[in-house]
Amino acid sequence: MNRLRSQAGVCRLSEMRSRWYCVLSMAVAILFCSACTASPMPASYIDQSTPEAAIRSLNDALTRGDVGAVEALVYPGDKSSADAIAGLRELVARGGVSYVSDLKIDVVANDGNVARARTSEHNRVVLKTGEPLLDEQTGNLYTLMKKGDRWYFIGLGQQVPPGWIYDARHTPAPQQGVP
């Protein structure tokens, strides 16, 4: 009888261990799969509800040196922004910090799915040593696409993003019907 009890105790113990092993294995698998999502998780301060909010969030991410947040703001699968992200990654690795002030945003076209915006801002980029790399009034052209309820950048860092053309005066203007 004692032998039967001890075997039952061993059996219960091994069942308990295998249950915990199973739960632990599932937890590890869930964590692993969640880390393999197609696009990075946006930081808590990222707002992509409007094109203007996405542009402000981009500037916040640049000021923080948060490359992951910048990646989360880029349209999933957009390979044309890779150079800009690689450049930001290198700048951050070298201790570079970007400060944007006096941001003005002009959304020049928005059909609900694709938006084009022109910005004007004072941009100051310095190394952590204090060495200035840039300190001037600058401007940017952005093309954003909506996916679900979020706005994403496409062609980030390109001098002329997708959907922009230069007119006869060499002034950038949104091209109609082209993302």
- Cβ-contact 82, 66 below 8 angstroms: no
Out of 3.90.550.10, 3.10.450.100, 3.40.50.150, 3.40.190.10, select the CATH number for domain 51-174. 3.10.450.100
Q: Of all helices (H) and strands (E), which one includes residue 164?
A: strand 164-166
The per-residue pLDDT for 178 is 47
Query: For 27-54, what is each residue's pLDDT tens digit?
Result: 333 333 333 334 455 578 899 999 999 9
Domain range list for the chain: 1-36, 51-174
Q: Of all helices (H) and strands (E), which one includes residue 82?
A: helix 82-93
- Across the chain, mean pLDDT equals 75
The per-residue pLDDT for 172 is 55
Write out the two tokens for 125.
């980029």
> Which is higher by pLDDT, 43 or 71?
71
Closest CA to 57 of 172, 163, 142, 160: 142
Query: For 12-25, what is each residue's pLDDT tens digit?
Result: 544 544 444 433 33
Q: Cα–Cα distance between 155 and 142 in angstroms, integer? A: 8
